């Protein structure tokens, strides 16, 4: 019933309150929620709770003579919360002067004299009229999560990005510029020093929640359903999702653990146009959504959690999570992907989340309307971001260290697309040497490597795409890595930087198997992998084949 508009009746006489509620429920109960309150203070509290839930309030039917707070006094307060609500005053014959005053003071739509029997003649025609008028101008409210915070806040940005990448509908309310944010903060009596605040559809306010706390409250799975699985996949990018689909479709008990959101770096891509089978292209979020639905359809379980370590116990591989839990499996696939390398320049780290972002940060696209956007990098991810942000920004500038986009690794279709968009410009031989601004990014100092010339340019947003750093810190030396930190598998194990990480069995390791039997790696995290979505999905599918071979040997 939460989606039905409400009618609130306020009267301190229980018999009158019950009679009005009975008559209204009989006529309007299928279309409206009928709520009751026995005092102005109780009713005002109910109005504020409705507002926090973003629930529609169509009509107030209020008795004028109530102790503590008169009907007019209540309406004066209530219309500050719901300015468009319809208002009907209940009065006795002797109070008609008060009713006329209410028309002038709080713009009531009608007044009813008590008693109103029969309702078909004296109640319903009045209520029908005001409700028809309200419905004619009503638009259903947004019913999802609302996020209140400052645009130039790291914590707010992280929650926006988390919700967007997990495909959770949300509405962003900037506390500095949005009157609704300020009103909600007042109604919920929020401490504005503890932003960001997430308001859930039921009206519950979460102050400065962590991503794991928010995940639990919005219904994302944060606890594994089983203590043991055939295969646990760490990482929900294309490789991990492909392995989940193929493994689950072949009858394996699969658990995929993703610390942020399914899709990985590919999930941040605004448009992927060179993926086989999608001639019109698709967004990274669409690809992730389809893959998640496919994996779940086959029975794979997807968990929102952070893996902090692995330990071995005989033939079992045990995954440890940040919550302190442990989950066991026969085989483990590491598909945790990579993160963008940090830009080493003064001011960049200080302004991270305050105008400086790593990756696409598609949640910031609309906010960049009319702004000066800079993108560091020359690969496909940088090109896709430039095309996307050009739809909103006044100007998008690509800062490229090399002398051409193809030499920087960008596909020709993106090079051609960028050349066609008038508000994208490319500056070659260019590096960022400093990010400027106090509470947010305001300018960049850049250098031309060819001429040595330095200059300062105004900047509102900086998005960084400068290479990959493998997410392998949590492995704690158990799995063999190359000198750059990528996972070694199969014949490449001879390159291990850790001499003690030797293959322990007589048989040769499978192609995607690490130095630990039964632990596999696929996708961007693997040594010398091809950094393309199609190759990642192929490796994820191929890893399942080797997992079957490993399981059959147990």
380 and 454 belong to one structural domain: yes
Residue 457, Cβ neighbours under 10 Å: how many? 14
128 and 178 belong to one structural domain: no
State which residues form the domain around 456.
356-466
Give 117's pLDDT tier (boundaries 50, 70, 90): confident
Q: Please check whether residue 194 is in contact with residue 154, taking contact to mean a CB–CB distance below 8 angstroms.
A: no
Provide DSSP, 483-499: TTSPBP-GGGGGG-SST
Question: Is there a domain that residue 404 lies in?
Answer: yes
- Residue 324 is encoded by which pair of tokens? 């302190």
Of 521 and 360, the structure prediction assigns the larger pLDDT to: 521
Cα separation of 290 and 494, whole Å? Answer: 38
392 and 455 belong to one structural domain: yes
Cα separation of 332 and 516, whole Å? Answer: 10
188 and 263 belong to one structural domain: no
Q: Do β-strands 338-340 and 254-258 pair in parallel, antiparallel, or remain unpaired? A: unpaired
Cα separation of 390 and 372, whole Å? Answer: 10
Cis, peptide link before residue 196, omega less than 30° from 0: yes
* Residue that is written with structure tokens 């906010």 in the block: 367
Question: Is there a domain that residue 257 lies in?
Answer: yes
User: To the nearest whole number, what is the mean pLDDT of the chain?
Assistant: 90
> pLDDT per residue over 477-487, tens digit each?
899 998 888 99
> pLDDT per residue over 457-481, tens digit each?
999 999 999 877 898 988 878 999 9
Question: Is there a domain that residue 503 lies in?
Answer: no
pTM: 0.77
> pLDDT per residue over 276-321, tens digit each?
888 878 888 889 989 999 999 999 999 999 999 999 999 999 999 9
Provide DSSP, 249-265: HTT--EEEEESS-TTGG
Looking up residue 124, the CATH number of its domain turns out to be: 3.40.50.2300
Q: Can you give the pLDDT at residue 182?
A: 81
Which residues on adjacent β-strands are paired with residue 328?
A: 228, 318
**Residue 440's closest CA among 350, 371, 310, 362?**
350
Q: Can you give the pLDDT at residue 501?
A: 67
Question: Is there a domain that residue 57 lies in?
Answer: yes
124 and 151 belong to one structural domain: no
Which residues on adjacent β-strands are paired with residue 398?
A: 375, 426
Looking up residue 151, the CATH number of its domain turns out to be: 3.40.30.10
Domain boundary, last residue among 102, 136, 170: 136
208 and 240 belong to one structural domain: no
Q: Can you give the pLDDT at residue 1?
A: 40
Domain boundary, last residue among 194, 217, 240: 217
pLDDT at 499 over 60: no
Of 170 and 103, the structure prediction assigns the larger pLDDT to: 170
Looking up residue 282, the CATH number of its domain turns out to be: 3.50.50.60
Cα separation of 516 and 312, whole Å? Answer: 9
The pLDDT of 322-330, averaged and rounded, is: 94
In this structure, what is the dihedral angle of CA atoms 15, 20, 22, 26, given to the nearest 10 degrees?
Answer: 170
11 and 105 belong to one structural domain: yes
Please count the structural domains in the chain. 4
CA triplet 392, 393, 398: central angle to 5 degrees?
125
26 and 57 belong to one structural domain: yes
Domain boundary, last residue among 466, 488, 506: 466
Instruction: Read off the DSSP letter of residue 240.
Output: H
**Residue 230's closest CA among 253, 212, 257?**
253
319 and 428 belong to one structural domain: no
Cα separation of 521 and 501, whole Å? Answer: 15
Question: Is there a domain that residue 493 lies in?
Answer: no
Q: Can you give the pLDDT at residue 351?
A: 95
Report how far apart, in Å, the C-alpha atoms of 495 and of each of 281, 480, 483, 506, 514 are. Answer: 38, 9, 9, 19, 12
Question: Is there a domain that residue 194 lies in?
Answer: yes
119 and 168 belong to one structural domain: no
Report how far apart, in Å, the C-alpha atoms of 320 and of each of 110, 309, 416 are. Answer: 65, 5, 46
Q: Can you give the pLDDT at residue 90?
A: 86
Report how far apart, in Å, the C-alpha atoms of 186 and of each of 52, 144, 333, 518 are. Answer: 10, 20, 48, 55
> pLDDT per residue over 25-84, tens digit each?
999 999 999 999 999 999 999 999 998 888 899 999 999 888 889 888 999 999 999 999
> pLDDT per residue over 207-216, tens digit each?
999 998 999 9
pLDDT at 383 over 90: yes
Cα separation of 471 and 336, whole Å? Answer: 6
In this structure, what is the dihedral angle of CA atoms 63, 58, 144, 204, given to the nearest 10 degrees?
Answer: 0
Cα separation of 17 and 509, whole Å? Answer: 78
Question: Is there a domain that residue 222 lies in?
Answer: no
The pLDDT of 251-257, averaged and rounded, is: 98
> pLDDT per residue over 395-446, tens digit each?
999 999 999 999 998 999 999 999 999 999 999 999 999 999 999 999 999 9
Q: Please check whether residue 446 is in contact with residue 425, taking contact to mean a CB–CB distance below 8 angstroms.
A: no
253 and 274 belong to one structural domain: yes
Phi, psi of 536, rounded to the nearest 5 degrees:
-65, -45
**Residue 45's closest CA among 57, 53, 56, 37?**
37
Question: Is there a domain that residue 487 lies in?
Answer: no
Query: What percent of the chain is modeled with pLDDT above 90?
Result: 61
Q: Can you give the pLDDT at residue 95?
A: 64
379 and 259 belong to one structural domain: no
Q: Please check whether residue 378 is in contact with residue 467, taking contact to mean a CB–CB distance below 8 angstroms.
A: no
Phi, psi of 482, rounded to the nearest 5 degrees:
-85, -175
């Amino acid at each position: 019933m939460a989606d039905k508009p409400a009618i609130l009746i306020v009267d301190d006489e229980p018999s009158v309150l019950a009679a009005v509620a009975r008559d209204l429920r009989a006529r309007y109960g299928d279309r409206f929620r009928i709520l009751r309150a026995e005092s102005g203070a109780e009713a005002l509290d109910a109005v504020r709770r409705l507002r926090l839930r973003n629930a529609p309030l169509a009509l107030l039917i209020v008795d004028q003579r109530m102790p503590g707070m008169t009907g007019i006094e209540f309406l004066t307060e209530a219309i500050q919360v719901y300015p468009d609500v319809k208002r009907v005053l209940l009065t006795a014959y002797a109070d008609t002067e008060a009713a006329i005053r209410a028309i002038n003071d709080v713009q009531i739509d009608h007044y009813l004299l008590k008693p109103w029997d029969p309702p078909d003649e004296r109640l319903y025609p009045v209520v029908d009229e005001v409700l028809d008028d309200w419905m004619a101008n009503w638009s259903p409210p947004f019913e999802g999560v609302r996020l209140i915070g400052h645009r130039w806040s790291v914590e707010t940005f992280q929650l926006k990005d988390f919700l967007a990448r997990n495909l959770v509908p949300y509405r962003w309310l900037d506390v500095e510029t949005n009157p609704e944010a300020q009103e909600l903060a007042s109604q919920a009596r929020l401490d504005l020093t503890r932003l960001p605040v997430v308001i859930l559809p039921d009206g519950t306010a979460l102050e400065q929640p962590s991503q794991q706390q928010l995940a639990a409250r919005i219904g994302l799975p944060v606890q594994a359903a089983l203590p043991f699985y055939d295969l646990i996949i760490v990482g929900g990018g294309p490789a991990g999702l492909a392995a989940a689909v193929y493994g689950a479709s072949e009858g394996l008990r699969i658990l995929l653990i993703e610390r942020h959101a399914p899709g990985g770096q590919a999930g941040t891509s605004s448009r992927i146009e060179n993926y086989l089978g999608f001639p019109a292209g698709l967004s990274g979020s669409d690809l992730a959504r389809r893959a998640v639905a496919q994996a779940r359809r086959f029975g794979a379980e997807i968990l929102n959690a952070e893996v902090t370590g692995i330990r071995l116990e005989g033939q079992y591989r045990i995954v440890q999570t940040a919550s302190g839990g442990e989950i066991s499996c026969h085989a483990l696939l590491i598909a945790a992907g990579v993160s963008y390398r940090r830009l080493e320049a003064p001011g960049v780290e200080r302004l991270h989340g305050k105008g400086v972002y790593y990756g696409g940060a598609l949640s910031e696209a609309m906010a960049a309307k009319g702004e000066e956007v800079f993108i560091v990098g020359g690969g496909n991810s940088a090109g896709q971001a430039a095309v996307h942000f050009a739809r909103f920004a006044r100007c998008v500038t690509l800062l490229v260290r090399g002398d051409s986009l193809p030499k920087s690794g960008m596909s020709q279709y993106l090079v051609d697309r960028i050349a066609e968009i008038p508000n994208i410009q490319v500056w070659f031989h260019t590096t960022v040497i400093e990010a400027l601004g106090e509470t947010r990014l305001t300018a960049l100092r850049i250098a031309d490597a060819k001429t040595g010339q330095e200059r300062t340019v105004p900047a509102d947003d900086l998005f960084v795409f400068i290479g990959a750093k493998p997410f392998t810190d949590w492995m704690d030396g158990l799995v063999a890595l190359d000198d750059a930190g990528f996972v070694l598998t199969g014949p490449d194990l001879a390159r291990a930087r850790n001499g003690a990480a030797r293959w322990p069995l007589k048989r040769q390791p499978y192609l995607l198997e690490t130095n630990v039997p039964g632990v596999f790696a696929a996708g961007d995290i693997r040594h010398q992998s091809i950094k393309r979505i199609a190759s990642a999905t192929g490796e994820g599918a191929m890893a399942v084949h080797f997992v079957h071979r490993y399981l059959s040997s147990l």
